[in-house]
Each structure stands twice: as C-alpha cells, then as structure tokens.
Amino acid sequence: MLGCARPVTVSEKREPLPTPPRWLVILDAGHGGFDAGASGTATGVKESELNLQVALLVREALEDAGVQVVMTRTGPEALGSTKREDMARRGQLLLTEGADAAVSIHMNKFSDRKVRGPMAYYQAGAAEGEKLAAAVIDSLTEALSLKPRHANPGNNFVTRIPVCPAVLVECGFLSHPEEERLLQDEAYQRTLAEAVARGVIAYLEGADTGR
Ligand SMILES: [Zn+2]
C-alpha cells in the first residue's frame, strides 16, 4: 500500500493512476517462443508460460498501486526469431529511460527434487540491486510463511544490463513435485505476484527516487 494521509473511501480505490505515476518499473517475463526455458518435471509445463502468467499478475498489482509498468513481452512469443535478436530487444527495453527498477520473472529447476521456494538474484556488486532483491525475497518469504532467505548475488543479462536497480525472481522450483503444481495454480501465482509487487514498492519507498 502507498502511504496516504487522507482517508480513502471504497469508491476512490479504483481511480486511475496518479499523474504522473510515482515510479516506472520494467517487468520482464523470462524466455518466450522458441526459448521455453525450464520445463516441469512431472507435467512438462513450460517455464516461459508460467513466467508470463505471473508477470501479468505482477503488472496488475503494481498498476493498482499507482506504478507505471513497461513489459518486455505480453504474449507467448519471444522478442525476435533468434536468441541474439531476443536479447537485443529485451536489452533495449531494460534500458527504458526513467525506469526506477527492473524485475525479471523466472521459474527454477534443480537436480535435487527436495529443493523448493523462491529466490531473488541481484547483479553481484550492485548495492541498490541487492537492496531491491532483499526487499523482494523478504516479501515473498513472509507471504509464503517461509523462513527468511538472503538475496543471492549473480550475473544475469537481465540484472547486468539495466542502469536502474534490478532483480531476477525465481518464483519456485519446477523440479519439486508440490511446487510444480502450485506454480500452475492461479491463486498461488497471485500470492507470489502480489508479494513481488509489495517488495518492489517497499524498496522504492525506501529509496525515494524523487518522483
Ligand atoms: Zn528462466
């Protein structure tokens, strides 16, 4: 929730975005088209499809909180016919001028099928990215009633390219039998998405980007 000094009545809750919006967030649904990413061990579900479903729910939650969102993709296709084209186009969008944060949504997979739960990666050495990733993983573990987890340093295209703080969220493991099922459940996806949005907003409120 965004802090608001005056009482808000029910009828005011669905007013359009404040003009101008307080923040601009780049939201990336990982993979797409020819690049399906990981697949569910039991069901074969494509990571690219789940990423998009969750990312669209994150967009909804951010927009409801008055955040402007630019998505790298809103459909099933990749951003080009080759990996190189896709990365070039995704990279351009990740550099959208005026962005306050970049968030990339992915699903995880691991050989040990007992490993589960969300993870948040920041670009190693990026102090603001680390704060953003910490806020997101805190929000996710709280929403899912999990033990607190640290954000993880990494080196990924989607956290390396943006000039704004960036986080790659691995929502859960497609190799864990129960989590593979949950990650396809719309109510669970919404819980994840709303937690990601709350974490991003908590970071932005603390960072005070001056909008
Ligand atoms: Zn992925």
pLDDT tens digits along 96-134? 999 999 999 999 999 999 999 999 999 999 999 999 999
Strand partners, 28: 104
Is residue 51's pLDDT more than 70? yes
181: in domain = yes
Element (H, E) at 19: none
154: in domain = yes
160: in domain = yes
Residue 172 in tokens: 């859960």
Q: How confident is the model at residue 207 (pLDDT cuts 50, 70, 90)?
A: confident
Q: What is the CATH number of the domain that holds 51?
A: 3.40.630.40
Give 210 Cα–ligand 1 centroid separation in angstroms.
32
Residue whose entry in the numeric block shows the structure tokens 């409801």: 64
Amino acid, single-letter form, for residue 79: L
Residue whose entry in the numeric block shows the structure tokens 């927009």: 63
Q: How confident is the model at residue 48 (pLDDT cuts 50, 70, 90)?
A: very high
Count Cβ atoms within 10 A of the Cβ of residue 143 and give its class: 0-12 exposed, 13-18 middle, 19 or more buried: middle
74: in domain = yes
25: in domain = yes
Cα 2 to Cα 201: distance, rounded to the nearest angstrom: 8
* Contact by Cβ (8 Å): 26, 101: yes
Total domains in the chain come to 1
Give 4 Cα–ligand 1 centroid separation in angstroms.
37
3: in domain = no
Residue 20 in tokens: 């101008």
Give 37 Cα–ligand 1 centroid separation in angstroms.
5
186: in domain = yes
Domain boundaries, position 134: 20-207
